[in-house]
Amino acid sequence: MKKEFTINGMSCNHCVASVEKAINQLDGIDKVKINLKKNQGVVKFDEAQVSAEQIAKAVTDAGYETEVI
């Protein structure tokens, strides 16, 4: 499954790396692509192992506001 997220609070590539790291630590993540300029992320993942809500929580726990689009 592929989902898009809005991610607010990122200001630099370090922020992007932090978000990517937080998401990639979850089981079932296939691919993460974060766009700093658009404040968006696209995550490809296995629904049997992780949910969009769990991904959003990982981003929030990393210190950024997020919402599933």
Q: What is the pTM of this model?
A: 0.94
pLDDT, tens digit (0-9, with 9 covering 90-100), for 33-58: 999 999 999 999 999 999 999 999 99
Place of tokens 């658009």: 38
Listed in order, strand segments (DSSP E) in the chain are 2-8, 29-35, 40-45, 65-68
Q: Give the pLDDT band (50/70/90) at residue 26.
A: very high
Model pLDDT, residue 22: 98
**Domain spanning 2-68 has what CATH number?**
3.30.70.100
Identify the pLDDT of residue 16. 98
> Token pair of 45, please?
């993942």
Query: How do the domains of the chain map onto residue ranges?
Result: 2-68
pLDDT of residue 51: 97
Say what the pLDDT of residue 62 is: 97
